[in-house]
Amino acid sequence: MPPPNWIDLGPAPPLQHIWLRIALPQARFSELERQLYEISDPKNARYGQHLLKEQVTEFVRPDRRSVEAVDAWLTQHGITGDDRVRRSVAGDWVTILVPVAVAEEMLDTVSKLLP
pLDDT of residue 40: 93
User: Looking at the chain, how many residues does it have?
Assistant: 115
Please list the alpha-helical segments (H only) found in 4-93.
29-40, 53-60, 64-76
Residue 46, SS3? coil
Domains of the chain: which residue ranges? 17-113
Residue 23, SS3? strand
* CA–CA gap between residue 108 and residue 110 (Å, rounded): 6
Give per-10-residue mean pLDDT for the chain (115 aa): 83 93 94 92 90 92 96 92 86 95 90 51
